[in-house]
Structure 1
Amino acid sequence: MAKKSGGGGCLVVVLVAGLLAFGYYKWQHGSSSAPPGGASTGGGSGRYVALGDSYTSSPRTGRQAGAPAGCERSDNNYPHLVSAKLKPAEFADVSCSGATTANLTAAQKTANGTNPPQLDAVTAKTTLVTLGIGGNDIGFVTLGSSCATAHPSASPCKDRLTAGGHDQLAERIDAAAPKVGAVLDRIHKQAPEARVIVVGYPTVLPDGTGCWPALPVGAGDVAYFREALGKLNKMLEDQADAHRAGYVDTATPGKGHDVCTASDTRWVEGVLPASRAAPLHPNARGEQGMADAVVAVLKLP
C-alpha cells in the first residue's frame, strides 16, 4: 500500500493501491463451503495457522501482534477472533501486509523487518489453515492507473485497461489461479491432516454508481471494478473447490457494509478512514464480520 502524501496524486495512489491490490467484491452470489474433514481443532487441541495479506493482517485496527512490525498485523484481525472462539492448543498468525503467493514460500521484506516464508508455520501438526491471498499477485499497483476523476460518469481506468480488446484485470486474475492452486497443494502436502479454508475478500464497492465524490471513481469504473473484483473472489472459490479446500464467502454478508455506507455501518473504510484502519481496508467491524463467516463454515456453536 502506498503511503499517504499531500495533494491529489496521493488520492489516486491510495485509491488504486488500496482498492485494487488486495481484492474485493463477489462477482456472483456464491456460497461458503466447508472444508473436507480432517483432524479436529479447538477446545485445547490442534494447531491453527493463518496465512494471508493485509485483508487478513488488518493494519491499524488493533494492537501490534507478533513480528515483524512491518507486516502491520493486528491482534483483533479475523484469525485472532477465530482463534479466540476455537481455543486451539496452538495458534500462529503469520499474515503480512503486501504478501503475494510467492511470500508463502519465500521471505517477505517489509519497511520494518522481514517476515519468514509463511508456509514455514504449516507443520505436520497443523489441523486448520485459513488462507486469504491472491489480490497482490494480480499486480494492480504496477499498472499506475489514475482512477480518480472529476467526472462522475467517467471510466478512465476501464478505457485504458480494456484497450485493444484485452481486459488486463481479467487476464491477470486468470494467471493467478494456478498460483493459488499450487499453494493449496503445498499446504496439503505439509499438513496432511489439516482442514484448509480459503477466505474470500469482503464487499468494498456498492451496487449502482458508487458515491462520487466521496469515492472519486466514476460510475463506469465502479461497474468495471465491481465485475473484475468479483472475478477475483470467483477464482478463489473455484481454486478452493478444485484443491480440497473449503471457501468462506465474506462478500455476501458484507453487502450493505461497503465504503459508501455510514461510518457506523461499513466494514471497509474509504479513502479517508473514519475509524482505525488502513484506507480501503477492513476496520474492526469488518474483521469481526469475516471471523463470523469463518466460524459459520466451521460449524462452531
Structure 2
Amino acid sequence: MSSRSRATAASEAQEPIGRHLPPPFPEDPDYPFPAVPPQSVAVGPGTDVITVGAGGNTLGFADILSQCPKLGEENGGSGTPCKDALAAGIPARLNKVSREYDRMLTVLHERAPHAKILAVGYPTIVPADTSKCRYNDPTQFAAITAGDLDWLRTDVLEPLNRTIEKSAGTQEAASFVDLYDSSKNHSVCDAGKWVEGFLTAPDQLSFVHPNALGHRNAANHLEAAMLNSLD
C-alpha cells in the first residue's frame, strides 16, 4: 500500500484528488487524473507483510488545512475561527475514518490471510508549544492562528492517530506503528523539523508533508515493526 492514501483504496478504485495549483504555478498537463485500481490487488495468499499509511485523506485533512489559513487571516490572526467553523463536523469525519479503516483491514486480511498488517500512524505536525509557530509564515502554517493550531493538534490529529490505533487493535493480524512520540520535537515549527510547512523555501509547495528526515524516521520504525512481525 502506498503511503497516505484514502482508506477506501483497499476495496475500491482510487480517484486521485490532485488539482491545478493556483497561479503562479503552472497547470499540470496530465490533469484530470484517471482512476487507478484498488491497491489491495497487489496482495495475496503469499504476502507476508503489508504496510498501510492512510486516514488523513479520508478525514479530509487537506481540506481543513486549506480553510484554516483563510479563516485565520479574516479573523486578524486571533481566536479560533477554524475550530469555530469546523469543530462540529470532526466527530463525523473521525467516524468515517474508523468505518473505512476497519473495512480496509478486513479486505486486506481476506486477500492476504497470512500477512501481518502494519498500520502506520501520523507524526507530530503541530508542536505542543504553538508559540514556536510564526503567524503568517508560509514555511510553517501560514495564517492559521495559535488557538487553531492547538485545536488541530488535540482535537484532530491526535484523535486521528487514536482512531487508526483502535482499528488496528480490532484485528489480530494488524498492529499500530506509532510515529507520533518519536517526532514530538520535530514538528513543522521546530528547528529540526521532520515535516515541512505549506512551502519549503524558497518556493516549493510541500503542503505539510514529511521531508527526508521524516521519511527516515518512518522507515526506521517500520523496519523494526517488520522484523518483529517476522520473528
Q: Please give the TM-score of this superposition, normalised by the length of structure 1.
A: 0.61
1:119 CA displacement = 0.6
Q: Which one of 85, 104, 107 corresponds to residue 160 of structure 1?
A: 85
> What residue is the counterpart of 1:52 in the other structure?
3
Shift of 1:179: 1.2
2:7 maps to a residue whose letter is: T
The partner residue of 1:116 within 37, 49, 56 is: 37
Question: What's the CA shift for 1:298?
Answer: 3.0
Superposed, 1:77-226 pairs within 5 Å as 99-110=5-16, 111=31, 112-141=33-62, 145-148=67-70, 149-150=72-73, 151-162=76-87, 167-210=88-131, 211-213=133-135, 214=137, 215=141, 216-226=143-153
The equivalent of 1:288 in structure 2 is: 216
Amino acid at match of 1:266: K
Deviation per residue, 1:106-163 (Å, 9 max, x gap): 222444554321011011111100111111112345567343424444211011123x
Instruction: Tell me the CA shift for residue 188 of structure 1.
Output: 1.0
Residues 218 and 183 of structure 1, relative CA distance in 2, 3 Å threshold: same
Offset from partner CA, 1:237-273 (integer Å, 9 cap, x none): 01101122111000111111111122xx211101111
Amino acid at match of 2:80: S
State the alpha-carbon separation in 2 of the partners of residues 278 and 230 from structure 1: 21
Aligned residue pairs, count: 200
Change beyond 3 A, Cα 1:114–1:178 = closer
Which runs of 5 or more structure 1 residues have no equivalent in the other structure?
A: 1-49, 54-98
Aligned residue for 1:4? none
Contact 1:52 1:131 in 2 (8 A): yes
1:232 aligns with 2:189: no
**1:48-80 deviation line (CA, Å, top 9, x unaligned):** xx3432xxxxxxxxxxxxxxxxxxxxxxxxxxx
Matched with 1:95 is: none
Please give the alpha-carbon distance, in whole angstroms, between the structure 1 residues aligned to 2:165 and 2:62.
23
Instruction: Name the CA shift for 1:142/1:273 in 2 (closer, same or farther; >3 Å).
Output: closer
* 1:270–1:173 CA distance, 2 compared to 1 (3 A): same
Root-mean-square deviation (Å): 2.2
Identity across aligned pairs (percent)? 32
Q: Residues 198 and 205 of structure 2 are in contact (CA less than 8 Å); yes or no, is this contact kept in structure 1?
A: no
Shift of 1:195: 0.8
The residue aligned with 2:26 is none
TM-aligned CA deviation for residue 297 of structure 1: 2.2
- Displacement of 1:102 in angstroms is 2.3
Give per-residue Cα distances to partners, 1:210-250, cap 9 Å, x unaligned: 41322322121011100121100000001101122111000
Q: Which residue of 2 aligns with 1:267?
A: 194
The 1:109–1:159 alpha-carbon spacing in structure 2 relative to 1, beyond 3 Å, is: closer
CA distance in 2, matches of 1:120, 1:246: 21
Q: When you count helix as a share of all residues, which structure comes out higher?
A: 2
2:169 maps to which of 238, 241, 257: 241
Deviates more, 1:192-201 or 1:108-117: 108-117
Q: TM-score, normalised by structure 2?
A: 0.78
Q: Is the 8 A contact 1:130 1:197 kept in 2?
A: yes
Matches within 5 A, 1:55-74: none
* Residue 279 of structure 1 pairs with residue 180 of structure 2: no
Quick one: structure 1 residues 284 and 172, their matched pair in 2 at CA, closer, same or farther if it must change by over 3 Å?
same
Which residues of structure 2 form unaligned runs of 5+? 17-30
Higher relative contact order (CA 8 A, sep 6+): 1
Alignment partners' CA distance in 2, 1:221 and 1:153: 9
The verdict on how the C-alpha distance between 1:291 and 1:277 changes in structure 2, with shifts beyond 3 A counting, is farther
